[in-house]
Amino acid sequence: MTELKPFKDLSDVEDIELHDLDFKRAESENVALKANYPHFEKRGDIGVLLVHGFTSSPLEMQPLADYLALQGFSVYNVRLAGHASDYHYLNMTGYDDWYDSVKYGLFTLKRNCRKVFAAGSSMGGLISLMTVHLNGLDGAVLMAPCIRIKAPLASITPVVSMVMPYMPKIGFDMQYSDIFYHTWPMKGVAELYRFTRYIENVTQHFSMPLLGFQFPGDMIVSAKATKNFFSGVGSKDKLYVEFPNKDGQTHILTSHLNQHRDEMFANIAVWLKDRSEK
């Protein structure tokens, strides 16, 4: 497995240079939609790094970005390598590339804020964990984190990807094509599986403040694994919120399909403010 390490210190790099470097990454992968480029909203002195999920894009996290900005937080909505462009790119990236994708946003926030948190959806939750753990941030918010892929055949995706590079998402609604890929890039899925194994091996080292949200009926990730993660992780400051199963099974908790989204957003803001005052 590839070992993730702290980022090289970019504190002396000006905001505009960090911004240009991040934009050039997006341009190099032909990101067409302007809304899916990385975006920095400077407000208060508390910063939140927002990290979308696998096969997704910054648009997934935009509702939370908008809410937090209105609450006075500075936010940086990142774009992960291989995402928000063409699904073929995702078969050419690894979890180290996804992790590396957040560094420009991270140092932009560190230059402008006295405290910085990371908030991630699904795979973005794993990246948030590693970013906070390795780079000394102040806490992580995990929304349906991909601690374990629910599909029982996930463990064989490294083999499957060798003979089946792509697989269509059954029942995909094309109205969401600006946000998500309509195809599973199987080498990317295999890399995501490896990432979950990597996280499993380093969980014992986590001690950051943690806030988590999950539907027990989630069809994409294992809610049981998420609950067990929060029970077993060594963080002294941790809160796990499980939504009522009867209200839905949506995986994308920033979506309007999450009936508890407004309450979740409000709880995130309160949690961030409380830990910013400590």
CATH code at position 180: 3.40.50.1820
Q: pLDDT band for 100, please (50, 70, 90 cuts).
A: very high
User: Residue 86: what pLDDT?
Assistant: 94
User: Residue 1: what pLDDT?
Assistant: 79
User: Residue 249: what pLDDT?
Assistant: 74
Instruction: Look at residue 4 and tell me if it is in a domain.
Output: no
Mean pLDDT of 255-263: 94
Distances (CA, A) of 276 to 68, 135, 137, 187, 273: 14, 17, 11, 39, 5
Instruction: Look at residue 54 and tell me if it is in a domain.
Output: yes
Supply the pTM of this predicted model.
0.95
User: Residue 218: what pLDDT?
Assistant: 93
User: Residue 39: what pLDDT?
Assistant: 97
Instruction: Look at residue 94 and tell me if it is in a domain.
Output: yes
pLDDT at 155 over 90: no
Instruction: Look at residue 141 and tell me if it is in a domain.
Output: yes
Mean pLDDT of 177-195: 94
Mean pLDDT of 18-32: 96
User: Residue 49: what pLDDT?
Assistant: 98
In whole angstroms, give the CA distance from residue 271 to residue 278: 11
Instruction: Look at residue 74 and tell me if it is in a domain.
Output: yes
Mean pLDDT of 127-152: 95
Q: What does pLDDT average to over the chain?
A: 94
Q: Contact at 8 Å (CB) between 146 and 126? A: yes
pLDDT at 88 over 80: yes
Instruction: Look at residue 8 and tell me if it is in a domain.
Output: no
Long-range contacts of 222-229 (CB under 8 A, 24+ apart): 222/147, 222/148, 222/149, 222/150, 225/147, 225/148, 226/142, 226/144, 226/145, 226/147, 228/147, 229/145, 229/147, 229/203
- At 216-255, the pLDDT tens digits run 999 999 999 999 999 999 999 999 999 987 767 789 999 9
**12: burial class by Cβ within 10 Å (0-12, 13-18, 19+)?**
exposed
- Which residues on neighbouring strands pair with residue 77, listed in sequence order? 39, 50
User: Residue 207: what pLDDT?
Assistant: 96
User: Residue 198: what pLDDT?
Assistant: 97
pLDDT at 34 over 90: yes
Q: pLDDT band for 164, please (50, 70, 90 cuts).
A: confident
Number of domains in the chain: 1
Domain extent for 228? 15-276
Task: Identify the top-confidence range among 47-51, 172-176, 273-277.
Answer: 47-51
Residue 61 tokens, joined: 């996290």
Instruction: Look at residue 9 and tell me if it is in a domain.
Output: no
Instruction: Look at residue 1 and tell me if it is in a domain.
Output: no
User: Residue 160: what pLDDT?
Assistant: 76
